[in-house]
Amino acid sequence: MRTYKILFLEHRSQYLNSLGDSLAQLGHEIFIQTSWAPAKIDAALSYFKPDIIITIGCGHVPICSPYLNKLHELCRKYGLFHINWAIEDKIHHTYWSIPYIKRIKPDLVWTIHPDCVNNYEKLGIPSSYLNFSFNPRMFPEKKYDTKEPLDISFVGSTHLRKRTYRYDSLQQLLFPLIKARIKTHIWGSGWNENLAFIRNQFGVTIPRDWIQGFLPYEYSASIYHSSKIVLGVQNAEDQVSQRTFEILGTGSFMIASKTKAITKMFKDKKEIVATSSPEETIELVNYYLKQPEVRHKLGYNARQKILNKYTFYHQLNKIWPKVDKLIAQKKELNNTIKPYFKEGVTYNDTR
């Protein structure tokens, strides 16, 4: 793999410490620019002189922001190769990803859903499938003798603005435990703010002392290690969440919704435990809380599966030859066009 100087235009630690750190481990030189203000991006590009700029999903900049047009102009100014990792696919593909991609005009889109690759290429933008994956350096192994003071944990924000499979998954996994008053520690943003909505929509009243608040990404592994059971809420039936790879990658024991993606990627009762109903969840929780040996064995098996198949190292090595090829093509095109233009001169197309 050829290595490059890469600037991440991103501020969220879950992506900088997953994809970003994984690229660093592969030998790339990584720089981070958190502000989308064009003048600050320009200064960063001038200082770092990267080969590649990577943006993640729709970031924190509204689709209507004029800053988005400026990014494409800056990429042209510095001859950069721009990659966008479309992490909102497939759920928000039509309403978020496509309009956003049309504004920022990247050279390549990595999408977390294979069905979206062709849609980007129809727009004339090359695309590759890069799913969420695992970075072992951020998530060390859970040892056999690790203390587990927490019975059950769930880590995740509410994400209830749009009805998706997440509604069903929460009703299969988390909400039955709340109704049965089986203590579950809940980390993530939005829970206190959405208590009334959850009560009205799902008929569930979450005890405030169960809500632990926002959990920094860097500390999530410690919660997985400290829990006998971690709940694997899913956002879609045909996709697996990023946290699924991270929880299982630590060797922690997970009970997840029985989706097509989960059962295709992991062996039920061998690497993970899958549930199809609230009643089954209660039964499984009561059983596995009393089975530390079984939990450890399944967690170990899951970690081996993740390390062997689902790390960023594996996934990036598969798609990187396309990056090399496209960068070479762009450089050749730029070198062909450049002699015909003089710096500071504007050429008008009179056709």
Within-domain flag for 28 = yes
- The CATH number that applies at residue 234 is 3.40.50.2000
Q: How far is CA 344 from CA 251, 341, 347, in A?
A: 58, 9, 10
298, 154: one domain: yes
Would the pLDDT of 199 be above 70?
yes
Has this prediction a pTM greater than 0.85? yes
CA distance 275 to 269: 11
Determine the 3-state secondary structure of 72 from DSSP.
Answer: helix
Within-domain flag for 211 = yes
159, 282: one domain: yes
Q: How far is CA 1 from CA 6, 80, 250, 312, in A?
A: 14, 19, 27, 14
pLDDT digits (tens, 9 = 90+) for 145-186: 999 999 999 999 999 988 999 999 999 999 999 999 999 999
Within-domain flag for 167 = yes
Determine the 3-state secondary structure of 284 from DSSP.
Answer: helix
Q: Are strands 227-232 and 150-155 parallel, antiparallel or unpaired?
A: parallel
Kindly report the average pLDDT of the chain as a whole number. Answer: 93
97, 238: one domain: no
Within-domain flag for 346 = no
Half-sphere exposure of 323 (CA within 13 A, CB side): 25
Would the pLDDT of 26 be above 50?
yes
Rounded mean pLDDT, 278-295: 98
Rounded mean pLDDT, 115-133: 96
223, 253: one domain: yes
Would the pLDDT of 341 be above 80?
no
Q: Among 24, 45, 82, 36, which Cα is nearest to 63's? A: 36
Within-domain flag for 139 = no
pLDDT band at residue 95 under the 50/70/90 scheme: confident
156, 303: one domain: yes
Q: How far is CA 260 from CA 229, 238, 248, 309, in A?
A: 22, 6, 17, 18
Residue 302: Cβ-neighbour burial (10 angstroms; 0-12, 13-18, 19+): buried
CA distance 106 to 335: 19
CA distance 256 to 269: 11
103, 14: one domain: yes
282, 329: one domain: no
Within-domain flag for 235 = yes
261, 321: one domain: no
Query: How is residue 155 written in tokens?
Result: 């880590």
233, 116: one domain: no
Q: How far is CA 211 from CA 117, 153, 244, in A?
A: 38, 10, 21
pLDDT band at residue 331 under the 50/70/90 scheme: confident
**Bigger pLDDT: 67 or 320?**
320
Within-domain flag for 123 = yes
| Percentage, residues of the chain above pLDDT 70 | 94
Amino acid 348: pLDDT: 42
Query: How is residue 95 written in tokens?
Result: 């309403």
What single-letter amino acid sits at 104? I
CB 128 within 8 A of CB 120: no
**Bigger pLDDT: 294 or 350?**
294
Residue numbers of the domain that contains 107: 5-133+311-340
pLDDT digits (tens, 9 = 90+) for 247-276: 999 999 999 999 999 999 999 999 999 999
Would the pLDDT of 223 be above 60?
yes
Amino acid 65: pLDDT: 78
Q: Which residues of 61-82 are buried (b: 16+ CB within 10 A; e: fewer)?
A: beeeeebbebbeebbeebebbb
Amino acid 68: pLDDT: 85
CA distance 104 to 84: 9
CB 185 within 8 A of CB 174: no
**Please, which residues have CB within 8 angstroms of residue 176's CB and are 6 or more apart in sequence?**
278, 279, 281, 282
331, 286: one domain: no
pLDDT band at residue 347 under the 50/70/90 scheme: very low
48, 93: one domain: yes
Within-domain flag for 143 = no
Cis peptide upstream of residue 70 (ω within 30 degrees of 0): no
Would the pLDDT of 339 be above 90?
no
What single-letter amino acid sits at 264? K
Rounded mean pLDDT, 320-325: 97
What single-letter amino acid sits at 33? Q
